[in-house]
Amino acid sequence: MPKPVVAIVGRPNVGKSALFNRLAGQRLAVVDDVPGTTRDRLYAESEWVGTQFLIVDTGGIDPTTVTRGREPLSIGSAEFIQQIREQAQQAVSDADLVMFVVDVESGVTPADREVASILRRSQRKEGDSLLPPVLLVVNKVDSVQRRENLVEFYELGMGDPHPVSAVHGSGTGDMLDALVAALPPQIEDPEESDADLSVAIVGKPNAGKSTLLNALVGEERAIVSDIPGTTRDTVDSFIDYEGQRIKLIDTAGLRRRGKIEPGVEKYSAIRSVRAIERAEVVLLVIDATTGITAQDAHIAGYVQDAWKSAVILVNKWDALEKDTFSMEQYTRNIRYVLKFIDYAPMIFISAMTGQRVKEVLPIAATVGAERMVKLSTSQVNRVLEDAQERQPAPNRAGRNLRIYYGTQVRSDPPTFLLYCNDPKLLHFTYERYLENRIRDAYGFLGTPIRIVAKKRE
């Protein structure tokens, strides 16, 4: 069952990213440095008293870009009000719980009132059972005097304010107790476990995800059922493919690009995260007419962070004027930007015309099977011994890494446990080298490999 999603919303400068980092337990927002790439980090896993959930940092619109010389946070501009409205409505639609963050230093501002009004109107219109609860969090409450100012936030009509200090951590325990209690129960899809393979179709808006879904379903002519998925505004399609029951998870509900692109893109990430969480294999659809973009890299980052298998689909290939070197050049550019998932196979398709669409399900099924491969301990150690003979681990601080033996402790995804003299001596470059040697010997096409080092005398 996928983890519930908590969206952190609010106007700029209230401490959303600081609270995000506090709940994540590490400094992730705004930039995460990963070997091979640097990308914006919008979500992280969190846990409290045994309940796991995903937190999404949805901050991002700078009002100074639309206030035309006015002071920041002024909502005298109708354009700014519309941005707030769109962001708040998107968050309400996609999350399991909305954490509405305000700032005790500034008190209740016009922007706060606008967001609160939108949240209240949405719940009255749709009904509380269909929309997530809202938790009002008052940040920067780090003194008794500031705690006395909490009473003014009752005017927002969002229930009891929960005082916290994201920087110092005070009050976060009580707030998390309230958060866990407010999370709606997760209803398991009765057909979730019936699928042999779950495949999510993700990508930025207008990349052609819905067209691809229709092409895959129409091509097979074997729809088993269409049922509402646990992701809001999506429909899971079940198809039969060579004896396998495959569930296709669509994220076609992503909003179109527009003048409020930064905020919409960040909120739409919630749906991508949800779909990725529910899948085993992810089809990352890239629009060939725009080329690889930062948003594509963000979504690919979600796939990597969730340890999901991946297939890269370059769509709308028919819409380009090409020469002999076009495919090679596109491949090189995409591989450079998405170097952190270089194990993912790539197909150039046209969902509209059907070009190479017949190759999508076979490669997805192959990647799904590779994800479940389990190697014997003797197979693992043969690879490790050969790898160390070819290239011993580099010396670090006068000490050499000694790997005594390894074993695969699980599949889905393939996870290898290495017993060594000191896990700190396993540098990420040598870990990547070992991963590549395992792939050379046994494949694992499209599937991430997790390597864990453990000390043993």
In this structure, the answer to whether residues 263 and 356 fall within a common structural domain is yes
More confident of the two residues 285 and 253: 285
Q: Which of 317, 342, 370 is the last residue of a domain?
A: 370
The CATH number of residue 396's host domain is: 3.30.300.20
268-310 pLDDT, tens digit per residue, is 567 778 788 889 999 999 999 999 988 888 889 889 988 999 9
164-221 pLDDT, tens digit per residue, is 998 888 889 999 999 999 988 766 555 555 788 999 999 887 888 888 988 888 754 3
pLDDT at 201: 93
Q: Which of 157, 182, 207 is the last residue of a domain?
A: 182
In a domain, 247, yes or no: yes
Cβ atoms of 415 and 450 within 8 Å: the answer is yes
Q: Which of 182, 214, 247 is the last residue of a domain?
A: 182
In this prediction, residues 138-144 reach a mean pLDDT of 87
Distance, CA of 284 to CA of 346 (rounded, Å): 10
pTM: 0.72
How many independent structural domains does the chain possess? 3
Residue among 120, 390, 95 at smallest CA distance from 267 = 95
The CATH number of residue 83's host domain is: 3.40.50.300
Q: Backbone phi, then psi, for 403, in 5-degree steps? A: -95, 115
Q: What is the dihedral of CA 114, 120, 123, 129, to 10 degrees?
A: 130
Distance, CA of 426 to CA of 420 (rounded, Å): 9
**Which residue range is the domain that position 301 belongs to?**
192-370
In this structure, the answer to whether residues 245 and 283 fall within a common structural domain is yes
